[in-house]
Structure formats: C-alpha cells, structure tokens
Structure 1
Amino acid sequence: MIQKNYEIIGASTNGITELPEDYNTIVSPYDAPASVTTTIEITGTILSDLGVSGASSVSLLLNKLLNILWPNNANTVWGTFAKETADLLNEVLSVDDPVVIEANINLEGLKSTLDLYLEALKEWKNDPQNPASQERVRTRFRNVDDDFTHDMPSFAR
C-alpha cells in the first residue's frame, strides 16, 4: 500500500515533529484562559445569583475544559492533536483510495476558490471605494461560501 504523508501544520509522520513558532497563533489565535475563563466565571456567578440552576456547574466544567485545551503551553496540546491526527490518517488511508482522491481534488478546488477570494480582498483593501473591487469581493465571498457548503459533506466519508 502506497501511503501519502499527511502533514497538518508542521506535524506529520515524515519525521517533522517540531512545530513552527507561530503554530499557536495559527491553531489557537486567542489567549482563551486569560479572557474567556474570567468571562465564564462572571457569567456563572451572575446566573447562579439569579437562581439559574446548574449555572455554577456549567461554568466550572467550561473552565476546566478551557484549561485542558488551552494550557499555558498550548503548543503541547494542539501539537499532540495535530501529530496524532496525521499519524492516524497515514495509518488508515491509502493514496489510491477513491475517497482520498476525491477529498484531495475537493481540497485543491477549495484552496483555489479561497485564493481567488483573498486576491480580490487584497485588491479591495488597496482601493476600497472602487465599485468593481467591491463587487469582486462580494462575488468571490459567495463563491467560497457556496463551494465550502457544497464540498464539506464529502469530507465526512
């Protein structure tokens, strides 16, 4: 069986296990525990004081989950997820599998559509008053939305 090496943001089975420096920004762009935990605690306290049953338990559970998923060194948790996902994909899927072939084709198409949108967005940012640029961004955004809506179910197989 010929295997394709799946790489997920620097974590793969080809021996590359070190993550790029901006990995945490790519996968987890927010400092979740610092901002979200406080918000959850405040919301849980207010809801408990208002008599909403279970609010304290839910806020405690959410805070625990956030601290597990976004610890001080989030690269460790997310890096492990990425590496294990890449390992699993490399174990299970063959590059000749029709599902893999279709998924790769769909991914290439989605990337092309997204690249066209990003190009139009860049043009619009350079000249936001240009009606042609405005319409191009709207059209490309709709195309991206339509393509992702259409193709995402194919990845569930």
Structure 2
Amino acid sequence: MTVTFPAPGSHDELEEGQRLTPKFDRDGLVGAIVTDVETGDVLMFAHMNAEALAATIETGVAHFFSRSRGKLWRKGETSGHEMSVAEMRVDCDQDALWLRVRVAGTGAACHTGRKSCFYRAVPTGEVGAPLRLVDDARLFDPAKTYGG
C-alpha cells in the first residue's frame, strides 16, 4: 500500500499551519516518542513510515516501521500489549511525533517484558560508567510470549 502525505509547504505553513505534512528522513521515516497517557512515563521510541503513520491515524492503534525487519508492525500484535492512541502530536517542524497511549494487557511496552524500554539510566560524570537499572520489574516473561 502506498500512502502519501502532502509535501511540506512554506516555513510558516509548516510551523503554523493545520495540515499534517510530516518531514520524513532520507529513509522515509519519522521518529515517534511514546508515553503513557495517564502517568506521562516515556515508554518507547520507534520509527514510522507513511504507511505506519496512516494506519495509526486510521485505526487509533500504534503502528510502526521495523528497521531491522524492514516491515510495518502493529504494537502488540504478538504480545497483546496493543497501544491505543489517546492523542498524537507533531513537533514544530513536523519531523517528530509524540504518541500518548494506553497499553493493553499487563501495561508493558517493551519486548523485554518491562513497562518502558527506558529501564537503564546512564550515569553522568564518567564516559563508560556502567548503566544503572531503574524500573526493572518484568511484567511478563518474554520467552513465554515470543518463544525461544
């Protein structure tokens, strides 16, 4: 399926207009940060191509483009932890998206079984210092959910 969005117009139209004209990168992708609508916690970051963005808009369920697999995927299609989009915003120059979602099932957004993909903190002050685990509780067993 080929999906196209209008090309960005003038600087003023891009920043002040009311048309969605996403600025996809050279690979046809735009970054999307995903947060929990209730808590504001950052859950994940992913990429969308035009097809994923259109599917998300049309269904109200988060879809993304997997760079490693080279294909569209609906978040939760395997795990059941589908993300219902409560609100989607675009930034000022339309090259980044923000999805505020409700996660079905256990509430885990990460394929590792955790609530968030951002479960490790990077200490400041010393490059190469070990990462620190935070919010590390697993809400599901990935081996049981995905196999292997």
Instruction: Give the structure with the larger helix fraction.
Output: 1
Q: Indicate whether the TM-score tops 0.5.
A: no
TM-score (norm 2): 0.27
Instruction: Give the structure with the larger strand fraction.
Output: 2
Which is greater in Rg? 1
Which of structures 1 and 2 has the larger relative contact order (alpha carbons within 8 angstroms, sep 6+)? 1
